[in-house]
Amino acid sequence: MLTKGAVEDLIMQHLRPGPGAAPAPRKVRELGKKVFISDWELRRLYKPDSKTINVPANAIVSPLSVDWLDYNNVTVIRA
């Protein structure tokens, strides 16, 4: 099921900004001191063609996220 935010992100990815338009601000905030990282947050942090992702050292990564990371061969770096 798509959420309102996911639909907005899909639309914004396919719209082209007009000449001289400022880029759209990112809606995904930085994790900071967040303790639990959900699947949705982890996928937002992931950059395509990257094989690593940085998370805080004390973060708990959801089991669904761990499965997704294993499937895509992405390594978690705890900083």
Q: How far is CA 3 from the centre of its chain?
A: 15
- Which pTM was predicted? 0.53
2 within some domain: no
* Better-predicted residue by pLDDT, 11 or 76: 76
Provide the number of structural domains found in the chain: 1
54 within some domain: yes
Give the residue from 33, 15, 32 showing the smallest Cα distance to 24: 15
38 within some domain: yes
Give the angle subtended at the CA of 45 by the CAs of 33 and 28, to the nearest 5°.
Answer: 75
Q: Domain range holding 45?
A: 29-79
18 within some domain: no
Span 6-49, pLDDT tens digits: 887 777 776 766 566 666 565 555 655 668 989 888 888 888 88
